[in-house]
Amino acid sequence: MSESTKQDAPPGQDISIARIFREFLTLGAISFGGAVPYLRSRLVETEGWIDDREFVEMLSISQTLPGLNATNLAILVGQKLRGARGAAAALIGMCLPGGVIMYVAGVLYWRHGDRADSTAILKGVAAAAVGLALYTAIQLGKRSLATRADLAFVAITAIAVNHFHISVLWVLLGVGLLSTLWRHPGGARETKEK
């Protein structure tokens, strides 16, 4: 599909349920250490199903809801593309590979988890996961943090959660309200900062 066709076609009109399932099945199978970088790469850059702004908005919603960010994001994208059936296809596709792999890993860990090489492997995987999360934060930050106020909201969030140990839900609600009040009415302050 050409780049112009991706952008001109109404969302989800030519995307089959089977294709949504296959794409999220693939994403669920290859997204080791955190799915968000893979989701952004495939959904925004490769498939063009959503743009960066939509991705950040959907990720923000996903992070404020209970459950896994990647699963919540898959549901939102599937819903946007093909409604409830698209959401179900995305959810099943995203969760199936991880569920099978975790079952097998659980059995192996139960039998061999006390060995030194198993512990070393898990530490290496944990370090890689942190690296992927940092990479994603940098990529999204470049597109989302346009003003000094945005950076201040990030700092407030980090300090509230890490230093004062305030619940993430309350911090997100508070910072979201603060951001809304800051930009109201009509984004006058945001325009002045640019």
Q: What's 58-84 look like in SS3?
A: HHHHHHHCCCCHHHHHHHHHHHHHHHH
Q: What is the pLDDT of residue 2?
A: 41
Portion of the chain with pLDDT greater than 70, in percent: 87
pTM greater than 0.85: no
Q: What is the pLDDT of residue 131?
A: 83
Q: Cis peptide before 66, with omega less than 30 degrees from 0?
A: no
Domain boundary among the residues 144, 162, 182 is at: 144
Domain range enclosing 80:
3-144
For residues 110 and 169, membership in a common domain is answered with no
For residues 183 and 119, membership in a common domain is answered with no
Query: Which range among 58-67, 161-170, 184-193 shows the weakest confidence by mean pLDDT?
Result: 184-193
Domain boundary among the residues 144, 159, 182 is at: 144
For residues 61 and 89, membership in a common domain is answered with yes
For residues 102 and 89, membership in a common domain is answered with yes
Q: If DSSP codes are grouped into helix, strand and coil, which group holds residue 5? A: helix
For residues 54 and 85, membership in a common domain is answered with yes
Exposure letters 70-94 (e unless 16+ CB within 10 A, then b): bbbbbbbbbbbbbeeebbbbbbbbb
For residues 106 and 162, membership in a common domain is answered with no
The phi-psi region of residue 33 (left if phi > 0; otherwise alpha if psi is between -120 and 50; otherwise beta) is left
For residues 153 and 87, membership in a common domain is answered with no
Rounded Cα distance between 158 and 123, Å, is: 25
Mean pLDDT, residues 57-78: 92
Q: What is the pLDDT of residue 11?
A: 53
Q: What is the pLDDT of residue 1?
A: 41
Question: What are 70-121's pLDDT values in tens digits?
Answer: 999 999 999 999 999 999 999 999 999 989 988 988 888 888 878 888 778 8
pLDDT level of residue 143 (50, 70, 90 thresholds): confident
For residues 46 and 84, membership in a common domain is answered with yes
Q: What is the pLDDT of residue 65?
A: 87
For residues 87 and 168, membership in a common domain is answered with no
Q: Are 172 and 64 in contact (CB under 8 A)?
A: yes
For residues 158 and 133, membership in a common domain is answered with no
Rounded Cα distance between 192 and 148, Å, is: 11
Question: CB count, 10 Å around CB of 23?
Answer: 24
184 or 88, which is more confident: 88
Residue type, 179: S
Q: How many domains does the chain have?
A: 2
Q: Are 175 and 156 in contact (CB under 8 A)?
A: yes
